[in-house]
Structure 1
Amino acid sequence: MDGEGRSSGLVKSAAVKLSEMGERTKELGTAMKDPHQQRRIILVIVCVALLLDNMLYMVIVPIIPDYLAELESEQSEHVHVVMHRNSSFNSTSQDKVNKNNLDIQIGVLFASKAILQLLVSPLTGTFIDRVGYDIPLLIGLSVMFVSTCIFAIGENYATLFAARSLQGLGSAFADTSGIAMIADKYTEESERSTALGIALAFISFGSLVAPPFGGILYEFVGKKVPFIVLACICLADGFLLLTVIKPFSNRTRENRPVGTPIYKLMVDPYIAVVAGALTVCNIPLAFLEPTISNWMETTMHSTQWQMGLTWLPAFFPHVLGVYMTVKLAAKHPNLQWFYGALVDENEFDNFRAQRSASEESSGPEYT
């Protein structure tokens, strides 16, 4: 009798727990249908997508130079052994040629993502106008997931180049649709500015935290682990997007305005000014990405986690700048051009300071 009583008690307890789980699931489903809650979930999804894109963009900074150098040394080891028999062989000149080739390979690898994204981004706008925001965002997350997995398993330059280029394709879909989705869901100017400020903060967080994240894991665990972690987060974000995405059968044909032709947008003065400002802001970063790791290894004999850690201090003033810009833009919207000019000047001042520090530290102390 005692055994039967215990078993019936366990059955009742399990039934109560299942009932509670069912109620919580219903509450979650009701909350997901609430437009206000949906906006928050969409903001989280977009922020995570932007975070992943920029982490994958910058996580390779301390990893790729060292990894490509190892691949180069393995491939040229047997060549050195054969040519060493020739007395006229100059190992110093050969090492210099190999280093120059490696620098070119690193630069091309870093640029491949931006080149493909530059070519595809104008086309994604037309695609988004026709199908909406959620499907392109899902496509972008899927492509980034595949790209991250290829980075994890890639063991030669061609594979890494394909993964980097594929990331540019995913970024063109994810970034464009994500920012557009935030602007569409947050119709009030103040809420939109706050939401876009949060998204920009996640972009900054991904760009500046990824190098120490990748450098530390690469140094102590290996190359695959950073990319596996990012792939898992990307997969989770994609599943979260599927919970709020509209099924094709429930999609209504919205009366969207006719899109403006690309050539008209390219000659628009406001768009030209914003595009020029973004280009100027990214020039110092484009110089530092493929060069700083090799320079630190050559002059300071730094390890990978130290190379990655050099990017971390810039995170805090960057986020502070984003916060201040959002607040100032809300109070004084007519002076937004002035804030952009200050940011551009600050970027060039930082670049000049880093260049001066590089020239000073590459003196007799390190040579």
Structure 2
Amino acid sequence: MGRFDTIREFNLLSWMREERQSRKLILVIVFIALLLDNMLLTVVVPIIPSYLYTVDDAAANMAKNHTVGSPHSPSATFQTIVSLYDNSVRVTSGGPMDSTHMPPGQTQATSPSTSGVTPHNSTQPDCPKADDQLLNENVKVGLLFASKATVQLITNPFIGPLTNRIGYQIPMFAGFCIMFLSTIMFAFSSSYTLLFLARSLQGVGSSCSSVAGMGMLASVYTDDEERGNAIGIALGGLAMGVLVGPPFGSVMYEFVGKTAPFLILAVLAVLDGALQLFILQPSKVEPESQKGSSLWSLMKDPYILIAAGSICFANMAIAMLEPALPIWMMQTMCPRKWQLGVAFVPASISYLIGTNIFGVLAHKMGRWLCSLIGMVLVGVSILCVPFAKNIYGLILPNFGVGFAIGMVDSSMMPIMGYLVDLRHVSVYGTVYAIADVAFCMGFALGPSTGGAIARSIGFPWLMTIIGIVDILFAPLCYFLRSPPGREEKMAILMDSNCSMKTRSYSTQGNTECEEMETEYDE
């Protein structure tokens, strides 16, 4: 038996050595990394607004009723000060804030902490009063959500050039480690400050994972059509994370508690890290063989800026929707906690459909046209959101928003790599850092400004503004129809694509190459 075990072990090791260079396994790793990143990104969407409102409401009531209780009791005073200082989760753990510290006349059942102590067994809808405290949550929640994207925005310009020097494997694994730490912090943080730090830390991990992941895919999938298909599949991981995150978070929060969903994500992150260790060997440094174009030269390219702008404004729509929609629903629809997350399911499902369909179709119909239609559809769909009277009325507009953003992302992510091939040096870390910066700007400006706008002029006007911006930006995608390139780069790119197509499709590939040569001569 020992001989057969040795043979099986040898075969397994041989298979792993061969598969380490497999493009499909690299695609799987990037898919999982984006899945976990975006599950953590969206699992907080239904949890944080309700959780912060609960602890803030409890703290406000404790402060108001404190003088009625025992103002001269040192222990009670200390507990109240600590609770107000760190927004403690005592309201959810049933710790020091029990019946012995309740203000007179207030029992455990009627305490403002009831929604924190027994939110999981509640059978009644959550109907917070639409007062200034609830409206102020727009700003707090918006800033918290925006912190991740803001930190990621700052980190990306450093990660892109770093991957050009040391390769993609080490940044990918560093992203996993930071993501795991952020997830643990989310699980056990009870104050707004610690939640803010956890969200900000996630931005660093996301920057490492997304920039290195997209750059890795662009480097191993050199054919433009194959690259588009691969990036479309990888974005499916992003879509799956966005799809599963909100309903998973809301259901777990209501029936199990705040900590449980983050602990589950932490376990999944450990599994992803183990897979990266076996497949990518992150200790092995493989720098790019040629020096890529500088960040500044890529930032000056108008075609890259148009593609980045499309990514930014399309994703800004959902970024504004995420913190503001749950609060607007709490004001107007009196929903259950789990409904706050389920409201985003249509957008997540349609994003998954859109990225998978247009990852392939966009190359055939023209990525510029796909993005133009997607931008218009985002604008129209987002304008329809405020007309919903209940959760069922949100299904169609949210479906349209997700589907349209899928069209834009699956078109613009591949075209960023194509523009570098066409107009610059074919090293992809920096250009995908720019793409991630655009994505992050949408998710940084969206929640931070959206929360303030929703508080000052209302949620419907917020949706109107971003909808009109998307529609007005859409015509700029026409300039990506046939971007000019340097002649020597176009010849190299054409030869590369022709050789790939000839090997893959034989007669059909030769026909397409002849058409490309005719267009190039013209």
Shorter-normalised TM-score: what interval? 0.7 to 0.9
CA–CA distance in structure 2, aligned partners of residues 207 and 314 of structure 1: 9
* Aligned equivalent of 1:64: 48
1:117 to 152, 161, 171: 152
* 8 Å Cα contact 2:175/2:208 also seen in 1: yes
- Correspondence 1:286 to 2:319: yes
* Aligned equivalent of 1:348: 379
* Aligned equivalent of 2:208: 173
Q: How far apart are residue 153 of structure 1 and its match?
A: 0.4
CA–CA distance in structure 1, aligned partners of residues 181 and 158 of structure 2: 21
- Correspondence 1:52 to 2:36: yes
- Correspondence 1:209 to 2:244: yes
Q: How far apart are residue 359 of structure 1 and its match?
A: 10
Structure 1 residues 208-250: Cα deviation after superposition (integer angstroms, max 9, x where no partner): 22100111111111111111111111111011101123464x6
Structure 1 residues 183-208: Cα deviation after superposition (integer angstroms, max 9, x where no partner): 11222333322211100111111112
* Aligned equivalent of 1:226: 261
* 8 Å Cα contact 1:32/1:38 also seen in 2: no
Q: 1:76 to 1:264 in 2, by over 3 A?
A: same
1:110 maps to amino acid: F
Q: How far apart are residue 295 of structure 1 and its match?
A: 1.8
* 8 Å Cα contact 1:31/1:37 also seen in 2: no
- Correspondence 1:265 to 2:298: yes
2:212 maps to amino acid: S
Q: How far apart are residue 149 of structure 1 and its match?
A: 0.5
Q: How far apart are residue 255 of structure 1 and its match?
A: 5.5
The farther-off stretch of 226-235 and 20-29 is 20-29
CA–CA distance in structure 1, aligned partners of residues 21 and 130 of structure 2: 59
Alignment: residue pair count = 333
Q: How far apart are residue 272 of structure 1 and its match?
A: 0.2
1:132 to 164, 167, 172: 167
Secondary structure of the residue aligned to 1:259 is: coil
* Aligned equivalent of 2:196: 161
2:329 to 275, 296, 304: 296
CA–CA distance in structure 2, aligned partners of residues 36 and 84 of structure 1: 68
* Aligned equivalent of 1:187: 222
Structure 1 residues 294-318: Cα deviation after superposition (integer angstroms, max 9, x where no partner): 2222222212211111111223332
Secondary structure of the residue aligned to 2:388 is: helix
Secondary structure of the residue aligned to 1:175 is: helix
CA–CA distance in structure 1, aligned partners of residues 288 and 331 of structure 2: 59
1:46 maps to amino acid: V
* Aligned equivalent of 1:145: 180
Q: 1:191 to 1:106 in 2, by over 3 A?
A: same
* Aligned equivalent of 1:308: 341
Structure 1 residues 23-61: Cα deviation after superposition (integer angstroms, max 9, x where no partner): 433222212222586322221111110001111111101
CA–CA distance in structure 2, aligned partners of residues 268 and 133 of structure 1: 24
- Correspondence 1:198 to 2:259: no
Counterparts in 2 of 1:78-93, with a 5 A limit?
Answer: 78-82=62-66
Counterparts in 2 of 1:21-60, with a 5 A limit?
Answer: 21-35=5-19, 38-60=22-44
Q: Percent identity?
A: 37
* 8 Å Cα contact 1:201/1:319 also seen in 2: yes
CA–CA distance in structure 2, aligned partners of residues 287 and 229 of structure 1: 27
Structure 1 residues 168-194: Cα deviation after superposition (integer angstroms, max 9, x where no partner): 111111100011111112223333222
Q: TM-score, normalised by structure 2?
A: 0.60
2:344 maps to amino acid: W
The farther-off stretch of 74-83 and 339-348 is 74-83
Q: How far apart are residue 130 of structure 1 and its match?
A: 1.0
CA–CA distance in structure 2, aligned partners of residues 148 and 121 of structure 1: 20
1:78 maps to amino acid: M
The farther-off stretch of 201-210 and 35-44 is 35-44
Q: Which runs of 5+ in 2 are unaligned?
A: 70-128, 394-522
* 8 Å Cα contact 1:204/1:319 also seen in 2: yes
The farther-off stretch of 137-146 and 204-213 is 204-213
Secondary structure of the residue aligned to 1:136 is: helix
| Aligned-residue RMSD, C-alpha | 2.4
Q: Which runs of 5+ in 1 are unaligned?
A: 1-15, 86-93, 362-367
* Aligned equivalent of 2:280: 245
* 8 Å Cα contact 1:209/1:311 also seen in 2: no
1:103 maps to amino acid: N
Q: How far apart are residue 74 of structure 1 and its match?
A: 2.6
Q: 1:275 to 1:78 in 2, by over 3 A?
A: same
Higher relative contact order (CA 8 A, sep 6+): 1
* 8 Å Cα contact 1:50/1:175 also seen in 2: yes
Secondary structure of the residue aligned to 1:291 is: helix
